[in-house]
Amino acid sequence: MIYTRDGAFERYLLLPRNPDVVLVDSEVVANAPVRFLVSGMGDALSTWFEAEDCRMSQAKNMTGRTGTMTAYGLARLCFDTLMADGVAAKKACEGKTVSPELERVIEANTLLSGLGFESGGLSGAHAIHNGFTALPETHKFWHGEKVAIGTLSLLMLTKRPTDMISKVYDFCQAIGLPICLADIGLADPSDAQLMAVAAQACAPGETIHNIKGDVTPQAVLAAIKAADAEGRRRKA
């Protein structure tokens, strides 16, 4: 993604070809601030839900093609890996230790999420993230942290099963990802501010339109509010 100097989303960066090699030094990750790893998990958390939206609607992926079974399978594996190993990976990182769980989460954050989003497709979580960047209060928060709120909002928007929504909230709380708007600098946003977020999320050409059916700013606004209300309820 390309941002403006002020921190607002500007456009997606699509390279003419994929890199020949991607190298990740697990020791560097283990010794880096834990927030980097957690934010990466926040970004990766959206992968399966967004790819599944694209699969259901037969929307194009980031290369302009229909996703493959492999892409959707990798997206699901990304989610399952986070659920199984995310908490332990964070603990390992806190202890500056390279554990098997940390290795698997590094793979999920980097390879599975990367292939899952590019070849599976994006939908509402990243579009809502892009909308949040219109509000300066969110600029000090990281991409994956805002995507986490976008994912929770997407779950509400697309009416995912209650047990799945609860599972994702539990995971976010367990590893320290945002679960309400106050966690990304929006302690008391006005309806006008949130409508600006929703309107930008629904801009022509945005990935939120990969969701099956019509998506309106009003529906996105309601979903953001519902996600925030559940997060605040859990914190109360």
Distance CA 216, CA 201 (A): 9
Active-site pick, 53, 85, 126, 183: 126
Check: CB of residue 171 under 8 Å from CB of residue 82. yes
Could you write out the DSSP letters of every residue in 140-206? TS-HHHHHHHHHHHHHHHTT--HHHHHHHHHHHHHHT---SGGGGT-SS--HHHHHHHHHHHTSTT-
Q: Which of 53, 85, 129, 228 is catalytic?
A: 129
- Catalytic status, residue 126: yes
Single-letter amino acid, residue 59: A
Active site residue 139: no
HSE value, Cβ hemisphere, 13 Å, CA-based, for 184: 32
Question: What sign does the dihedral 218-52-10-169 (CA atoms) show?
Answer: positive
Integer angstrom CA distances of residue 84 from 63, 101, 131, 151: 30, 8, 30, 19
H or E, element range at 110? none
209 catalytic per annotation: no
Amino acid, single-letter form, for residue 54: C
Catalytically annotated residue among 6, 20, 25, 43: 43
* Annotated catalytic residue 143: yes
Q: Which of 6, 20, 85, 143 is catalytic?
A: 143
Active-site residue numbers? 43, 126, 129, 143
